[in-house]
């Protein structure tokens, strides 16, 4: 992973081919009933936070696209709330599991997917943008598929500060998750990229924590998120603790 001296974007210098990535993602998600349940539990807090935001903004409901929808946990949640929902997922087994629940989900990457212009009121990407070979191009495509005044919710890791800290301590780590994570976004870089894609009123913040299955990572996630949200609140939103995953909200 290298950092652009001009814009600050951190990226994988020698990424694998899109074909290799598409094949490797067929086994990227946990499998089996226990794996599916574990994944949905891990993401549940994030899903619930996004649901609250969408219902508050669109009380009458709307049309949602979840990109990288995994096993459809968020789509199910929003369908129960009265929304029309669609999703794309690169892992064929996960997409098939969604269709068994009568969810409208197609096997496709963001680059492959096609939608009519101005179709969606809301689009979500939960831990997806860092996997996309062309994130700016993908965001432009998403913007074109959204209605004016729609809401985009993007969740991404903010790993670079942790990696740099551990490096100073002389500790090797795989926190970047190469070669699957192609990019790492600071709040400033993510904001600029969203604005270049056509979005406005971009707000980056620390949101609900994920809950990994293992107790150690779960405690780290919950603790870091709590500290980050407290500092964010005390500073009036001006201070964002680095090294904690970020959620970006943006209007189309």
Give the model's pLDDT for residue 176.
79
In a domain, 66, yes or no: yes
In angstroms, the CA 235 to CA 20 distance is: 44
Give the model's pLDDT for residue 79.
98
Q: Kindly report, residue by residue over 217-235, the tens digit of the pLDDT.
A: 788 888 888 898 999 889 9
How many structural domains compose the chain?
Answer: 1
In a domain, 102, yes or no: yes
Prediction pTM value: 0.93
In a domain, 217, yes or no: yes
Helix (H) or strand (E) holding 124: strand 120-126
Q: Kindly report, residue by residue over 183-200, the tens digit of the pLDDT.
A: 999 999 999 999 999 999
For residue 239, the enclosing domain spans 11-251
In a domain, 114, yes or no: yes
In a domain, 17, yes or no: yes
Angle at which helix 32-57 crosses helix 73-80, to 10 degrees, equals 40
In a domain, 129, yes or no: yes
**pLDDT tens, N- to C-terminus, the chain (252 residues):** 999 998 999 999 999 998 899 899 998 888 888 888 889 999 999 999 999 999 999 999 999 999 999 999 999 999 999 999 999 999 999 999 999 999 999 999 999 999 999 999 999 999 999 999 999 999 999 999 999 999 999 999 998 887 887 777 777 767 778 889 999 999 999 999 999 999 999 999 999 988 887 888 788 888 888 898 999 889 988 888 888 899 999 999
Give the model's pLDDT for residue 107.
96
In angstroms, the CA 20 to CA 15 distance is: 10
Phi, psi (rounded to 5 degrees) for 154? -125, 130
Beta bridge partners of 221: none
In a domain, 5, yes or no: no
In a domain, 91, yes or no: yes
CATH number of the domain where residue 242 is located: 3.40.50.150
Helix (H) or strand (E) holding 66: strand 63-67
Phi, psi (rounded to 5 degrees) for 64? -115, 140
């Amino acid at each position: 992973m290298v950092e652009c001296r001009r814009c600050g974007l951190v990226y994988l210098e020698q990424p694998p081919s899109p074909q290799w990535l598409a094949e490797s993602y067929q086994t990227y998600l946990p499998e089996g009933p226990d794996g599916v349940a574990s994944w949905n539990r891990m993401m549940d807090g994030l899903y619930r936070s996004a649901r609250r935001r969408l219902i508050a903004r669109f009380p009458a409901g709307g049309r949602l696209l979840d990109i990288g929808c995994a096993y459809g946990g968020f789509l199910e949640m929003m369908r129960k709330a009265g929304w029309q929902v669609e999703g794309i997922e690169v892992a064929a087994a996960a997409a098939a599991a969604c269709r068994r629940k009568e969810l409208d989900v197609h096997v496709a990457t963001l680059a492959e997917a096609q939608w009519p212009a101005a179709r969606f009121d809301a689009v979500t990407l939960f831990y997806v943008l860092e996997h996309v070979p062309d994130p700016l191009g993908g965001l432009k495509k998403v913007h074109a598929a959204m209605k004016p005044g729609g809401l985009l919710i993007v969740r991404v890791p903010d790993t670079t500060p942790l990696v740099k800290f551990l490096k100073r301590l002389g500790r090797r780590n795989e926190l970047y998750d190469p070669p699957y994570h192609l990019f790492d976004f600071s709040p400033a870089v993510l904001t600029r990229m969203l604005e270049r894609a056509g979005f406005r009123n971009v707000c980056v913040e620390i949101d609900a924590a994920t809950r990994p299955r293992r107790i150690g990572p779960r405690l780290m996630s919950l603790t870091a998120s709590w500290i980050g949200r407290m500092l964010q609140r005390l500073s009036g939103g001006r201070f964002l603790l680095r090294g904690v995953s970020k959620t970006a909200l943006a209007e189309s």
